[in-house]
Amino acid sequence: MDGSVLYLSMPSITSAITPTTDQALWILDIYGFVVSSLLIAFGNLGDRYGRLKFLLTGAVVFGIGSAGAAFAPSPEVLIACRALMGLGGATLLPSGLAIISSLFHNPRQRSQAIGIFAATFAVGFAAGPVIGGLLLSRFSWGSVFLINLPVVVLFLVLAPVLLREVRTTNPGRVDALSVALSAVGILLAVYSVKSAAAAGFSLTQAVTGVVGLVLLVWFVRRQFGLEHPLLDLRLFKDRVFTVAILTGLLTLVAWAAAGYLSGIYLQSVLGYSVLAAALLALPGAAVLTIVCIKTSSIADRIGTRSALIASHFFMGIGLLLLLLTTTEHGVAAFIASTIVAGVGYGLSFSLVADTAVAAVPPSRAGSAASLAETSNELGNALGISLLGSLAAVCFRLVGPDVADTLDETLDAPGLSARTVAEAEEAFLTGLHVAIGVASLLCLALGVLALRWVPKESGEPQERVEEAGTVPAAH
């Protein structure tokens, strides 16, 4: 909910606190960068010290960050508060999925529960802009962050009553060096990629990237020698699991880029309000929700392999429909795109999480869930950073050379009708290029999945006994 409303509220934020192009991208993707850099570490720490404890702590931190973001007076403060929200989100996501997996030991029930869990993301994606649009019609842009606070308070009241603490029985020693290597390595690597996409290559950017990659290589090599590794790399021997993680990454690349760019297109090019743009996304969100819930039945009928492959082609074809948009017409193409791509998103969200959790014993559910969520959050950050920057580059190359972005251009005084038309056309060119790349990536991974995943690997494998997790007394 928070992420989707932010996409649609960016024009209002841009007009209110005037962030630079780079700052606007940081507002959008700093959350994903922080979450992705800490998910592996926090997923394992939750396994060892208690998942409910991490959930409660993360909710408090997320709430504080949301409150700060609502009243941020400048882009810098808003970026910092979004980073704090990412710190809370890194504790919430893997622990929440791990607790759900511990409640349902039957594989089919667990798959259904994870499907419902994934469906809540679709509901949040649909509800966020609608609620945000209503708020923005009466209040300032900061109100969109306040919608998080009632949810946080309700959770803090009910979670200690309804949920049990779950942790591993023999967690082993936490390898502090692995925690630091994974967090810092991921953060430096994705920062380098973002800097290259937004501002081009530079010595600082290249050195940052190299250092990040060296730390990640060190982290990977270290895991093979640990009795209790932070990341169990043996999971990737299962090709279905590997394709599922790649699917989680690419799904969010496409999701984030399409959501961000489509939100600007509907408002700044076609002239729809935030609320109207949100309502136009409801049909696709409804399809996404239904597919998430029904994914378990779909996978039972056609197999996990076929469902994984189908998700890529639905996403790829759905994204291609956005290429039919023009500066005057595009609502029908947008709705059709969200519906078709929504089928692929729904399959992906449920299958990635279920495959990750099914591949490990309950004692490692948090670390497996964190790996699945890491692929999602990293994809979310890279989708906005890379494809958003690609669209921005196209705008600068073919636009009227008034400002770096469409919204900044439209806010400039004394624009002629011809300049406005040129700016809108330039933005549409950037949107088409970025979405075209996202679509090709989805279709390519679908073809790769056809070759990589053997037909006999259709179902998630229950490789290990359901042991090693005990509920702790309140």
Say which residue, 70 or 229, is predicted with more confidence.
70
Q: Can you spell out the DSSP letters for 233-283?
A: GGGGGSHHHHHHHHHHHHHHHHHHHHHHHHHHIIIIIS---HHHHHHHTHH
Report residue 228: phi and psi, to 5°.
-125, 80
Q: What is the pLDDT of residue 370?
A: 64
Query: pLDDT, tens digit, for every residue of 270-321?
Result: 999 877 888 898 899 889 889 988 988 898 899 878 898 999 999 999 999 9
Is the whole model's pTM more than 0.75, yes or no? yes
The DSSP H or E segment spanning 334 is helix 331-358
Q: Which residue has the higher pLDDT, 218 or 448?
A: 218
Euclidean distance between the first and the last CA atom of the chain, given in angstroms as a whole number? 31
**Highest mean pLDDT range out of 160-174, 369-383, 400-414?**
400-414
> Does residue 26 register a pLDDT over 70?
yes
Q: What is the pLDDT of residues 79-110, one digit of tens each?
A: 999 999 999 988 887 777 777 777 777 878 87
Instruction: List pLDDT tens digits, range 422-463.
Output: 999 999 999 999 999 999 999 999 998 888 877 754 444 443
Give the pLDDT mean for 354-376.
Answer: 67
Per-residue burial over 255-265, b if 16 or more Cβ lie within 10 Å, else e, is bbbbbbbbbbb
What span, in angstroms and rounded, lies between the C-alpha atoms of 101 and 440? 34
| Cα distance between residue 171 and residue 175, in whole Å | 11
Looking at residue 416, the DSSP 8-state letter turns out to be -
Question: Which pLDDT value is given to residue 75?
Answer: 94
Mean pLDDT score of the chain, rounded to an integer? 83
- Residue 463 confidence (pLDDT): 38
Enumerate the H helices of 147-238 as residue ranges: 148-162, 176-199, 203-223
Q: How far is CA 161 from the centre of its chain?
A: 29
DSSP type of residue 473: P
